[in-house]
Amino acid sequence: MRILVTGGAGFIGSHLCERLVGEGHDVLCLDNFFTGNKRNIARLMGNERFELIRHDITQPILLEVDRIYNLACPASPIHYQYNPVKTIKTSVMGAINMLGLAKRVRARILQASTSEIYGDPQVHPQTEEYWGNVNPIGIRSCYDEGKRVAETLMMDYHRQNGVDVRIIRIFNTYGPRMAENDGRVVSNFIVQALRGEDLTVYGEGSQTRSFCYVDDLVDGMIRMMECEDFIGPVNLGNPTETTILEFAQRIIGLTGSSSKIIFNPLPADDPKQRRPDISLAGEKLGWSPKVDVATGLKQTIDYFAGVLGRK
């Protein structure tokens, strides 16, 4: 098939592009490089099945494709809060433009939504039926509410215009090609540990997260795209839960670092708990994570060691 991946030069998008090219598809990678990096797709640039388009999805584009994976949007708090208006425009106007394209060419479109639509959840673990607890005027709302509106648009285009949509909700994902400056827990801790710096934990570190390796996520995304008679939304993530403090201690151990842990004030609206209920993904997609955290973290640490060593 001919497949469009928006945000294809990003962390997750580049892994998805590689997998799709490897399966024999023609892949159009669309990115404006706000957070994407050409280094992520360098190994694909000479492949005849791969094409790079520099474009911002807040502007319309005309292409002939069979599938659209809509991943374009800054996904880390540092990046999406840098330009919050741009962030919500990417989620909302980008979704409208990609849905318009899907409608015109009769393509199936998958929306990469997020666990952030659950906000600071009052239900634990989070199921797809939970509507969330989101602050609509907070510093994270440009991302949280932008993604919620994108889900709304997907369902309205589906109901009103018959567009073939799929919705996934991505929980914390990690792996090679994460940006070292994106402010996320995994990259922050690994980079700090490798540099011998103090690891920064916010609050008391009692807040919990669940971390899914990128290869597992990509497998779930493709399964969802090709699943018939189920449009979602569906949670994709690893249900193994850990506190941030425990995770920091684990990174120090795996890197053999002499770093210490320091504590800073908790950011506004930071979720206290985050763990997906993935029973629906198991039932509808036959999907569950396969890569254990120790294996995934080793590969991620090796990647960052290489990146930092080249500087």
Question: What does the pLDDT read at residue 300?
Answer: 96
Distance (Å, whole) CA 124 – CA 209: 12
Region of 227 on the Ramachandran plot (φ > 0 left; ψ -120 to 50 alpha; else beta) = beta
Q: Please report the pLDDT score of residue 75 as a whole number.
A: 79
In angstroms, the CA 263 to CA 265 distance is 7
What three-state secondary structure class fits 21?
helix
**DSSP class of 80:** H
Separation CA 300–CA 305 (nearest Å): 9
pLDDT value for 310: 43
Amino acid in the structure at residue 298: K
Token pair 């570190």 is found at 205
Which ranges constitute the DSSP H helices of the chain? 11-22, 77-82, 84-105, 141-161, 185-195, 214-225, 244-255, 279-285, 293-309
Torsion sign, CA atoms 132, 229, 224, 34: negative
Torsion of CA 69, 70, 75, 81, to 10 degrees: 170
Reported pTM: 0.93
Model pLDDT, residue 62: 95
Catalytic residue set? 143
**By C-alpha distance, which of 224, 150, 178, 241 is closest to 10?**
178
60: cis peptide before it, omega within 30°? no
Q: Is the peptide bond before 125 cis (omega within 30 degrees of 0)?
A: yes
Collapsing DSSP to helix, strand or coil, 287 comes out as coil
Mind listing the domains of the chain with CATH numbers?
2-174+214-237+275-290 (3.40.50.720)
Q: Report angle CA 155, 230, 102 to the nearest 5 degrees.
A: 50
Rounded distance between C-alpha atoms, residue 271 and residue 119, angstroms: 7
pLDDT of residue 269: 67
Q: What is the pLDDT along the chain (311 residues), one digit of tens a residue?
A: 999 999 999 999 999 999 999 999 999 999 999 889 999 999 999 999 999 999 999 999 999 999 999 999 987 777 778 889 999 999 999 999 999 999 999 999 999 999 999 999 999 899 999 999 999 999 999 999 999 999 999 999 999 999 999 999 999 999 999 988 887 889 999 999 999 999 999 888 998 899 999 999 999 999 999 999 999 999 999 999 999 999 999 999 999 999 999 998 877 767 788 899 999 999 999 999 999 999 999 999 999 999 987 44
How far apart (Å, rounded) are the C-alpha atoms in residues 257 and 84?
35
Return the percent helix, strand and coil in the chain, to nearest 5: 40, 20, 40
Tell me the C-alpha to C-alpha distance, in Å, between residue 160 and each of 156, 184, 224, 232, 311.
Answer: 6, 38, 22, 17, 52
